Amino acid sequence: MAGVVTIRKAERRDAAELAILVDLSSHGLASWLWYGAVLEGTAQTALEHGRNQLSCDDDRAGWKNASLAQVDEEIAGVVIGHVVEPSFADEEAPHQVFEPILVLQQQAIGHWFIDSVGVYSQHRGRGIGRKLVDHELVRAGVRPVSLITESDNDVALGLYKSCGFEEIARQPSVSTDTYSKQHDWVLLTRSAT
């Protein structure tokens, strides 16, 4: 039985599930960043720090801007979206790995930005990712919508292009001794409707 897919607004109590899905969406980059809190002694695990961050009221990529896909009563996926405010032009990357992402995102000031889309593997192939993206397109209203993904993520690129997104720019990823995945970051935009 396929189950009924619904989209609901996230609540603060969903922060732990959000942390898992954001990490899944980022292919582990989020937990790589969050692990810094473990090294600093402010968290015991990367996911604990991610949960704490996503439960903050003032985090633009936190629970207040998140929506969850559910299959019946089980959480299946997440989407997080927000406006890229003009103040974002002055932001600095928290680590050099994020510099190319920041350069691309600063090209989307004034746009609605889809920060994360993630679906648990057992729920993939059922159109949930598309429903989550469509949900954000509605939330965006008349604004253009942008997002960033990896150049080697063919499934995501196919989904976004089928939703009307076009490639705007690319930046090569930055490697370090602890993060070495090689790809380009790709900024995709869908024009205002």
pLDDT at 69: 98
- Between the CA of residue 151 and those of 63, 124, 187, what are the distances in Å? 27, 20, 10
pLDDT at 182: 85
118: left (phi over 0), alpha (psi -120 to 50) or beta: beta
Q: What is the pTM of this model?
A: 0.93
In one-letter notation, the amino acid at residue 158 is G
Kindly list the domain boundaries of the chain, sorted by start residue: 5-190
pLDDT at 3: 87
SS3 145: strand
pLDDT at 180: 67
d(CA 96, CA 53): 20
User: Can you give the pLDDT of all 193 residues of the chain as single tens digits?
Assistant: 478 999 999 999 999 999 999 999 999 999 999 999 999 999 999 999 999 999 999 888 899 999 999 999 999 999 999 999 999 999 999 889 999 999 999 999 999 999 999 999 999 999 999 999 999 999 999 999 999 999 999 999 999 999 999 999 999 999 877 666 789 999 999 998 6
pLDDT at 179: 64
Q: Which CATH class is domain 5-190?
A: alpha beta
Buried b / exposed e along 68-92 (16+ C-beta atoms within 10 A): bbbbeeebbbbbbbbbbeeebeeee
